[in-house]
Structure 1
Amino acid sequence: MKAAVLTAFGVPLKIMTIPDPVLGTGEVIVDVIATGVTGYAANVFNGSRNYLLELPVVPGPGGIGRVRATGPDATRLKVGDWVFCESTVRSRDEALTPDSILQGWTYRTEAALQLHRHFHDGSFAEQMRVPTENVTRIGDIDPAMAGRWTALGRLAVPFGGLLAGGLRAGETLVVSGATGGFGGAGVAVALAIGAGRVVATGRNAAALKDLGRRLGPRVAPVQMTGDEAEDRRRIIEAAAGSIDMVLDFLPREAAASQVLAAAMALRHGGRLVLMGGLRGTQGDLPLNYNWLMHNNITVKGQWMYDRDAIGRMVQMVRAGLVDLEQYEMTEFGLHDANEAVAYAAANAGPRQLTVLRPDRP
C-alpha cells in the first residue's frame, strides 16, 4: 500500500510503498478514505512539539474509512461499513489505570511504548489497523462527504470535556480559546447540548465575530486583552448572569493568568474543565484553596474523551444538532501530503478543515 511516512524529524514526509497491515484478533483493517491534518502537524513532524514517536512512522490520528476485514471477535462490524477510527488507544490489561497513546501521533509515557510499537502507524496511508473498540460505524455516507466527517475527531474532544463537566441545558458556559480548532468546536457542541449562553473568548477579533455570526445569538464573543482583571470584567459582562462552567482550551503559548481570568468568574458551585496545552511554569495555576473550598468549585482535568463519545457525536450529527457544513474544507491527495501539512499550518482556525484523501493519488 501507499503511505506518507515520517522517516526523521525535520524532513518532509516520504511517499512510500509499505506492507499492508496484518489483521489480528481484536483488530480491524480499514481502507482509509479521509483523515484530518491538524494545524500543528508541522510542529509534530519537525520535532518542536516534542511528541514521543518512534520513527519511521506513518503519522495521522484517526480518520474516516470503510471496513476491509474484522477479527473473529467483532459481532456488528461488516466489510464495507463506513466507520470513524479514533486515535485514543488504551491498554486492555488495567481498567483503573490504563496506559494510552494517540495512534500514529504520540505515546504519552514510557509505559505506553509497547502499545505504541504495536498500534504504531496512523491514517496517512491507504489502510490502517486499529483496535476493534476504536472503530465506530457512522452509517452510509456520500464518499464526497468523507472529508467533512473527519470533523468528528475535532468535535469529540470538547464533547468529552463538556460531558466531564456535566454541562446542562440552559447553563452559561465560557470557552477559553474559542478561536482554535478545539475551542471553536466546543462552542458548537455546547450549543447543540443546549447551553443557554456561550461566552467565546480569544484574541482574534475577526474569528470571534465570525463565530458569533455563524452560530447565533446565544454566542457572546469576547476579545481578550491580556489584562486578567479587565478580561474577567469583560467575561462577566458578556455572560449577563452567573457562569456555570468554564471549558479551557488555551494553547501552550498562553499564560496562567488567562486561565484565571475565566476561572475566577465562576459562580458558587461552578466547574472548571482543563483541556488546553499550558506547559512548564505557565501551567501552574495559583488557585486559592480558601476560594475553591468556600465556593464549592470543581476543577477537572480531562484528556480526550470516553469511548462512547464518538457514537453519541455521530447521533448528534445525524439528528442535525451539529452541522458539518460549518467547516471550510480543503482536500489533498496522498501524494500531496506535505502540501497538506503546510496548508493546515497556514490556515488553522475554528472553521478550517484540512483533509488528506488516501483514496486519491
Structure 2
Amino acid sequence: MRAAILKAFGSPLTLETVPDPVLGTGEVIVDVVATRVLAYANEVFSGARNYLMELPMIPGSGAVGRVRALGPDATHLSVGDWVYCDPTVRSRDDALMPEIILQGLVAGSQPALRLQRYFHDGSFAEQMRVPTENVVRIGALDEAEAAAWCALGTLLVPYGGFAAANLTPGETVVVNGATGAFGSAGVAVAMAMGAKLVVATGRNETALADLERRYGRRVRAVRMLGNEESDRGRILEAASGPIDCVLDLLPPAASPSQVRTAVMAVRPYGRVVLMGGVGMAGGAGLELPYPWLMRNCITVRGQWMYAREASTRMIGLVRAGLIDLADFQVTSFGLDAVNEAVTHAAANAGPFRFTVIKP
C-alpha cells in the first residue's frame, strides 16, 4: 500500500510503498477513504510541539473508511461497513488507569510508548490497523460524504468535555475560546446537547459574530479584551443568570488569565472542564483561589479526549440532524499532495473548516 511517512522531525513527509498491515486478534483493517489533517500538524511534524512519538511513523489521527478485514472476536462489524476510526487508543491491562495514545500522533506518557510501538501507524495511508473497540459504525453513506464525516474528529473533543461535565439540557454554558476549530465545534455540540444558552468567548470579533448568525438567540458572544474583571463582568451580563458549566478550549498561546476569567464566572456548585492547551508551551500555570473553590463547592476537572462511547453518541447526534455536517467547509487533497495538505491546514485553520486527505 502507499503511505506518507514522517522519518524525522523537520523533514517533509515522504510517500512510499510499504507492506499492508497484518491483522491480529482484537484488530480491524480499514481502507482509509478520508482522514483529517490537524491545523497544527505542521507544528507536530516540525518538532515544535515536542510530541512524544517514535519515528519513522505513518502519521494521521482518525479516519473514515470501510472495513477490509476483522478479527474473530468482532461481533457486530462486517466487511464493507462504513466506520469512523477513533484515534483515542487505551491500554487494555488497567481499567482504572489506562495509558492513552492518539494513534498516528502522540503517546500521552512514557509508559504509553509501549502501546504506541504496537498501534504505531496512523491514517495517512491506504489502509490502517485499528483496535476493534476503536472502529465505530457510521451507517450507510455515499463515498462523497466521507470527507465531511471527518468533522467527527473535531466535534468529539468538546463533546467529551460536556459529557465529563454531565451537561443537562436547559443549562447555561460558557465555551471559552469559541473562535477556534474546537471551540466553535463546542458551541455546535452544546446546542445539540440541549444547552439553554451558550456564552461564546474569544478575541476574533468576526468569528464571534458568525456564531451568533449561525445559532441565533441561544448564543451570545463576548469579545475578550484582556482585563479579567471587566471581561468576566460581560460574560455574566451575557448569561443573564447562573452559569452552570464552563468548558475551556483555549490554545497553548493563550494565557492562564484568559482561562481564569471564564472559570470564575461559574455559579456556586458549578462545573469546570479544562481541555485546552494553556501551559503546554511553558509559562505559568493556572491559579485559582482556594477559598473560592472550597466555599462555592466548584468542581474542576481536566479531560483529555473523551470516553469510548462518545463516537457512537456523536454519530447519533449527526444522524438525528442535531449537528449538520454541511456547516463545515472541507478542502480535500490526494495522498500524493500530503505536504501541500499539511501546509493548507495550517494556513486555513478556523471555525467550521478543515482539510482532509483522501488516500
Q: Structure 1 length as normaliser, TM-score?
A: 0.98
Look up the equivalent residue of 2:269 and give its one-letter code: G
What are the Cα deviations for residues 224-275 of structure 1, in whole angstroms up to 9, with x where unaligned?
1111112111111111111111000011111111111111111111111000
Partner-residue secondary structure (3-state), 1:217: helix
2:323 is aligned with 1:325: no
Match of 2:24 in 1: 24
Match of 1:345 in 2: 346
Structure 1 stretches of 5 or more lacking a match? none
Look up the equivalent residue of 2:314 and give its one-letter code: M
Asked if 1 retains the 8 angstrom alpha-carbon contact of 2:105 and 2:122, the reply is yes
Question: What is the CA distance between 1:147 and its match in structure 2?
Answer: 0.4
Match of 1:98 in 2: 98
Partner-residue secondary structure (3-state), 1:9: coil
What are the Cα deviations for residues 298-325 of structure 1, in whole angstroms up to 9, with x where unaligned?
1011110000000011111000011101
Match of 2:125 in 1: 125
Correspondence 1:256-335 to 2 at 5 A: 256-279=256-279, 282=283, 284-335=285-336
> Which region of structure 1 is more displaced relative to structure 2, 281-290 or 54-63?
281-290
Question: What is the CA distance between 1:214 and its match in structure 2?
Answer: 1.3
Structure 2 CA distance, aligned partners of 1:222 and 1:17? 50
Partner-residue secondary structure (3-state), 2:234: helix
Match of 1:215 in 2: 215
> What is the aligned residue count?
358
Partner-residue secondary structure (3-state), 1:261: helix
Match of 1:186 in 2: 186
Question: What is the CA distance between 1:282 and its match in structure 2?
Answer: 4.4
Structure 2 CA distance, aligned partners of 1:250 and 1:84? 26
Match of 2:140 in 1: 140
Question: What is the CA distance between 1:215 and its match in structure 2?
Answer: 2.1
Look up the equivalent residue of 1:147 and give its one-letter code: A
Look up the equivalent residue of 1:178 and give its one-letter code: A
Asked if 1 retains the 8 angstrom alpha-carbon contact of 2:256 and 2:279, the reply is no
Structure 1 CA distance, aligned partners of 2:346 and 2:215? 25
Asked if 1 retains the 8 angstrom alpha-carbon contact of 2:84 and 2:138, the reply is yes
Match of 2:204 in 1: 204
Match of 2:57 in 1: 57
Partner-residue secondary structure (3-state), 1:116: helix
Structure 2 CA distance, aligned partners of 1:165 and 1:282? 27
Correspondence 1:5-84 to 2 at 5 A: 5-84=5-84
Partner-residue secondary structure (3-state), 1:284: coil
Look up the equivalent residue of 1:28 and give its one-letter code: V
Question: What is the CA distance between 1:279 and its match in structure 2?
Answer: 1.4
Question: What is the CA distance between 1:356 and its match in structure 2?
Answer: 0.7
Question: What is the CA distance between 1:12 and its match in structure 2?
Answer: 0.9
Match of 1:162 in 2: 162
Structure 1 CA distance, aligned partners of 2:328 and 2:216? 16
Asked if 2 retains the 8 angstrom alpha-carbon contact of 1:205 and 1:223, the reply is yes
Question: What is the CA distance between 1:216 and its match in structure 2?
Answer: 2.1
Look up the equivalent residue of 2:38 and give its one-letter code: T
Structure 2 CA distance, aligned partners of 1:285 and 1:125? 39
RMSD: 0.9
Given the superposition, is the C-alpha separation of residues 283 and 93 from structure 1 closer, same or farther in structure 2, using an over 3 Å criterion?
Answer: farther
Task: State the 4+ residue runs in structure 1 displaced beyond 3 angstroms.
Answer: 280-283
Look up the equivalent residue of 2:356 and give its one-letter code: V
Structure 1 CA distance, aligned partners of 2:293 and 2:65? 46
Structure 2 CA distance, aligned partners of 1:271 and 1:108? 25
Look up the equivalent residue of 1:322 and give its one-letter code: I
Asked if 2 retains the 8 angstrom alpha-carbon contact of 1:29 and 1:68, the reply is yes
Structure 1 CA distance, aligned partners of 2:97 and 2:256? 28
Question: What is the CA distance between 1:285 and its match in structure 2?
Answer: 1.9
Structure 2 CA distance, aligned partners of 1:95 and 1:283? 33
Match of 1:245 in 2: 245
Structure 2 CA distance, aligned partners of 1:172 and 1:108? 32
What are the Cα deviations for residues 183-202 of structure 1, in whole angstroms up to 9, with x where unaligned?
11110010011101101111
What are the Cα deviations for residues 314-351 of structure 1, in whole angstroms up to 9, with x where unaligned?
11100001110111111111101111111110010111
Look up the equivalent residue of 1:328 and give its one-letter code: Q
Q: Structure 2 length as normaliser, TM-score?
A: 0.98
Structure 2 CA distance, aligned partners of 1:335 and 1:211? 35
Given the superposition, is the C-alpha separation of residues 283 and 181 from structure 1 closer, same or farther in structure 2, using an over 3 Å criterion?
Answer: farther
Look up the equivalent residue of 2:123 and give its one-letter code: S
Partner-residue secondary structure (3-state), 2:16: strand
What are the Cα deviations for residues 79-103 of structure 1, in whole angstroms up to 9, with x where unaligned?
0000000001111011111111110
What are the Cα deviations for residues 114-141 of structure 1, in whole angstroms up to 9, with x where unaligned?
1101000000000000000000000010
Structure 2 CA distance, aligned partners of 1:242 and 1:113? 43
Structure 2 CA distance, aligned partners of 1:353 and 1:252? 19
Q: Percent identity?
A: 63
Asked if 2 retains the 8 angstrom alpha-carbon contact of 1:256 and 1:282, the reply is no
